[in-house]
Chains A and B, each alone.
Chain A
């Protein structure tokens, strides 16, 4: 219970941050050339000035900037993100449609990066400065320097064009209607390459942090005690070292949530996945500023919720945190 209230307090503290972001980006977008009505008129194939005037009045764009901002925030409290003139739907609907692929992709990439980062980090720390460590650390450095979109393209060339093992893009096969388990398998096959592409750089980061954190914990007194009382090495590592070494890894999930969401913009474009990231890109190209602002709001919300979960996990892993408050 105490854990929950602690994390809840952190969550409450992030509300002002959320408003700061929204107000900042809203004011920033006022500087953008063209507004919703311009986009709408272009969509309709032009129109006279009187129509534009009427439309501006309808959307409340004839008001002063502070009044518009107030309007926007008031609508937002009721979860109304405005209307997207490009898609002809409420922004909230557009975003909700695009959310599942992104969340699926992020969860898969995070699990992949976390699991293999942990395993390789442990292996590297067990053979520190010997060949397994050197090999893993070198690969880590190379993965860290690889641009994700380039890796994605090369993976398409190898696995989709030459070997023809995996589909080159899309979320599912739209040629055939599938149901149940076959649909799940189909989506999974489509997500293999995007997951690897997005997860690669995080794998590099996680294995580096895991290695460093293992090395640090291995030197602590309680590990020596555990060994001295005759525990075998596997037991020492899994029961005593790992749990403590995991703390920085968990912190990192929270810190990297935003970076991962940003990375999905590029990865979703490479694999033409209909996700939030691709929507962000499309709304920039099509100047759909209402949708862009909505995406800003939703991505900040996503990052904040990831951090909330991380807080809970963290307190679960380290009981001292809950005890301190």
Chain B
């Protein structure tokens, strides 16, 4: 309750929440507002925005409604961003919890693997994964999740390291609780808040990664994605620059909203750090 009050006292956090709700509303209402396939031919190609009331944001190079693609694109961005974040956080928690709880050689091996993932540029690894497994919506989502887990793993490990010798864990051990019980039931709930807050950073990066991949035409071409549209607009950039400009603003607003909400949550949950 106290944390919620603190959250709503920060104007940046409130703006972030409003923007995020707006993007979610776009994703939800896409079906009612634009019942037709967003990738179907809708009208004359390259109509400028605000010049034809039927196509508020104009049409792209092949005559598809840009507004419809923006609305459906919100679905794709939130879906890929959300699912990839869940994958990254789950792997991160699993690796971090084991490494932090057991220490010793388990920690050594797991941290070496984490280091390997951090040494390899994540976008290069993403390219390798797409080259191997192809670029459908599912593979791209999983690939984005798989390249994003090292940071949450390190965070979870640090939390586990500081918590594993606390009294309540020792008490649990004395009571004869199993390792799994201790990890999941005792330590994890205490280690979780900073990891959940960090999820907003992971999600922001995941959305940016997917849009960059789509821009390079290496993501799923059969869905209306903002990155796809920017890549398409590149062919007519010299004159009809709006085809690329509009979806870029959508990405910017979404990523901004996610980071503002994350930062707001962080400040609300750790009030002592707020001055930073």
A positions within 8 Å CB-CB of B: 14, 16-18, 20-21, 24-25, 28-29, 31-32, 141-142, 144-151, 153-154, 156-157, 161, 212, 215-216, 255, 258-263, 265-266, 269, 280-281, 284-285, 287, 289, 292, 295-296, 299-300, 303-304
Contacts and interface: CB of A to CB of B under 8 A. Distances in A.
Interface in B215-234: 215-216, 218, 227, 230, 233-234
Contact of B131 (A21, A144, A289): A289
A208 to B, nearest CB: 9
Contacts, number: 152
Contacts of A266: 123, 212, 215-216
Contacts of B208: 147
> Can you list the 4 inter-chain pairs with the closest CB atoms, starting with the nearest?
A262-B123, A150-B248, A262-B121, A145-B255
Contacts of B130: 284
A161 B252 CA distance: 23
Given A147-B251, A287-B131, 7 more contacts: A17-B119, A141-B260, A144-B259, A150-B230, A258-B119, A258-B121, A262-B121
B128 A29 contact: yes
Contacts of B211: 147, 149
B276 A28 contact: no
A24 B128 CA distance: 11
B112 interface: yes
Interface of B: 12, 112-113, 115-116, 118-133, 204, 208, 211-212, 215-216, 218, 227, 230, 233-234, 237-238, 241, 244-245, 247-248, 251-253, 255-256, 259-260, 275-276
A146 B252 contact: yes
Nearest to A297: B120
Contacts of B125: 25, 296
Name which of A150, A255, A263 has the most chain B CB atoms within 10 A of its CB: A150
19 contacts: A14-B115, A16-B112, A20-B116, A21-B116, A28-B128, A31-B132, A142-B252, A147-B211, A157-B245, A161-B237, A212-B276, A262-B123, A262-B124, A280-B124, A280-B127, A284-B127, A292-B127, A292-B128, A300-B119
A25 B116 CA distance: 11
Nearest to A266: B212
Nearest to B134: A33
A150 B233 CA distance: 11
A157 B128 contact: no
B275 A156 contact: no
A20 B112 contact: yes
A147 B128 contact: no
Nearest to B113: A20
Contacts of B121: 258-262, 299, 303
B119 A32 contact: no
A156 to B, nearest CB: 7
A148 to B, nearest CB: 8
A127 to B, nearest CB: 14
A141 B19 CA distance: 14
Nearest to A134: B12
Contact of B120 (A151, A212, A296): A296
Nearest to B255: A145
A258 B112 contact: no
A29 B125 CA distance: 11
A188 B213 CA distance: 28
B117 to A, nearest CB: 8
A67 B205 CA distance: 38
Contacts of B122: 258-259, 262
Contacts of B212: 147-149, 266
A149 B12 CA distance: 26
A265 B127 contact: yes
Name which of B126, B227, B233, B237 has the most chain A CB atoms within 10 A of its CB: B237
Contacts of A16: 112
B128 A296 contact: yes
B135 to A, nearest CB: 10
